[in-house]
């Protein structure tokens, strides 16, 4: 016996056709009623679900092929039968399920990658060493108005050295450089400030990068 399809839905993989204009066409592999199509503008990634195909009353999960990624394009205006509001749309082998724009996906993916590089661990994927805000609050580079900034590009840092202030609910706390410790995992114990990434008096979230450092020899 086949396993209970309500608990273990069978899966089918859509067929991929590359159009001359660069768009990807995901086609139905067989005959069935197509439901829960992804909405226009949503992102389809390789092997991700793109809805369900009902064949003789059995729901099959439809997956995108492993080479397909892109943003779902809206149905052309002259094809009302492709409208996404239809609960179930009869499709045959080779019929269009969704059209994807892979370049929109590349842009989205690039944006995601650059964000994650900054928001990643201290020793981010790109090899940058960043000092991050331990809590949300307002970041000050100076200990008081009219006083010089605690750090500037080129400042040599050691563990325990004050690098700025953070104000949380009217309470000011000093931020200390803490190479290798909490909030500073991966940072060297001795470092030189390379670039300051946020301006004085900027509201930051926990984990936001505040400045970039590089290891110094001594």
Partner 1 sequence: MTARGSLPAAPPLFRRLMVGNRGEVAVRISRACDALGITPVLAVSAADRGAAYTQGRETVCLGGPRSTQSYLDMRAIVQAARQSECSALHPGWGFLSENPVFAALCEAHGVTFIGPPAHAMHRMGKKTPAKAAMRAAGLQLIPGSDGILTSVEEAQAVADRVGYPVLLKAESGGGGRGMRIARGPDEVAGAYADAQAEASAAFADGRLYLERLIEGGRHIEIQILADRYGHVIHLGERDCTVQRNHQKLIEESPSPVLPELERSRTLAAAVRAAASIGYVGAGTMEFLLDQGGTLRFMEMNTRLQVEHCVSEQRSGVDLVIEQIRVAAGHRLSLRQEDIVLRGHAIECRINAEDTTQNFRPAPGRITRWHAPASEHLRVDTHVQSGYEVPPHYDSLLCKLIASGDTRDQAIERMIAALTDLVCEGVPTTVPVHLAILRSPAFRDHHYDTRSIPGWPPA
Q: Which is nearer to partner 1, 3 or 146 (CB)?
A: 3
> Could you tell me what percentage of the chain is helix, strand and coil, using 3-state DSSP and rounding each to the nearest 5?
10, 40, 50
Q: What does the alpha-carbon distance between residue 60 and residue 18 come to, in Å, rounded to a whole number?
A: 24
Strands 49-55 and 32-35: antiparallel
Count of positions on this chain that bind partner 1 (CB under 8 A): 13
Among 12, 16, 33, 118, binds partner 1 (CB under 8 A): 33
Query: Per CB under 8 A, which region of 31-39, 44-52, 164-172, 185-193 contacts partner 1?
Result: 31-39
Tell which positions 95-134 bind partner 1, by CB under 8 A. Answer: 95
Q: Does 30 bind partner 1 (CB under 8 A)?
A: yes
Among 1, 7, 8, 56, binds partner 1 (CB under 8 A): 56
Indicate the DSSP class of residue 38: P
Among 24, 26, 32, 175, binds partner 1 (CB under 8 A): 32
Q: Does 39 bind partner 1 (CB under 8 A)?
A: no
Q: Write the DSSP string, 45-83.
A: -TT-EEEEEEETTEEEEEE--TT--EEEPPPPTT-GGG-
Q: Does 36 bind partner 1 (CB under 8 A)?
A: no
Q: Which residues pair with 100 in a beta bridge?
A: 24, 72
Strands 58-63 and 11-13: parallel
Please check whether residue 18 is in contact with residue 95, taking contact to mean a CB–CB distance below 8 angstroms.
no
Tell which positions 71-100 bind partner 1, by CB under 8 A. Answer: 90, 92-95
Backbone angles phi, psi at 107, to 5 degrees: -60, -45
Among 31, 83, 107, 152, binds partner 1 (CB under 8 A): 31
Query: What is the nearest approach in angstroms of partner 1 to the Cβ of residue 92?
Result: 4
Q: Which is nearer to partner 1, 32 or 38 (CB)?
A: 32
Q: Write the DSSP string, 100-148.
A: EEHHHHHHHHHHHHHHHHHHS-SB-TTS-EEEE-SSSEEEESSSSTTSP
Q: Which is nearer to partner 1, 60 or 128 (CB)?
A: 60
Query: Per CB under 8 A, which region of 5-13, 50-58, 104-112, 206-214 contacts partner 1?
Result: 50-58
- Name the residues that contact partner 1, by CB under 8 A: 29-33, 55-57, 90, 92-95
């Amino acid at each position: 016996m086949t396993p209970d399809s309500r608990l273990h839905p069978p899966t089918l993989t859509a067929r991929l056709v590359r159009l001359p204009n660069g768009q990807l066409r995901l086609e139905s592999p067989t005959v069935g009623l197509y439901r829960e199509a992804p909405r226009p503008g949503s992102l389809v990634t390789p092997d991700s679900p793109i809805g369900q195909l009902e064949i003789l009353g059995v729901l099959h999960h439809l997956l995108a092929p492993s080479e397909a990624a892109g943003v779902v394009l809206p149905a052309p205006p002259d094809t009302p039968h492709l409208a996404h509001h239809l609960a179930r749309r009869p499709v045959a082998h080779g019929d269009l399920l969704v059209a994807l724009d892979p370049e929109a996906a590349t842009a989205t993916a690039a944006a995601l990658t650059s964000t994650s590089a900054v928001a990643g661990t201290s020793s981010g994927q790109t090899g940058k060493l960043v000092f991050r805000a331990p809590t949300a609050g307002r970041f000050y580079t100076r200990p008081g108005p009219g006083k010089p900034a605690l750090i500037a590009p080129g400042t040599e840092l050691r563990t325990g050295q004050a690098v700025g202030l953070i104000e949380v609910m009217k309470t000011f706390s000093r931020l200390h450089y803490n190479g290798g410790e909490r909030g500073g995992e991966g940072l060297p114990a001795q470092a030189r400030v390379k670039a300051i990434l946020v301006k004085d008096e900027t509201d930051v979230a926990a984990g936001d990068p505040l400045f970039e450092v590089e290891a110094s020899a001594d």
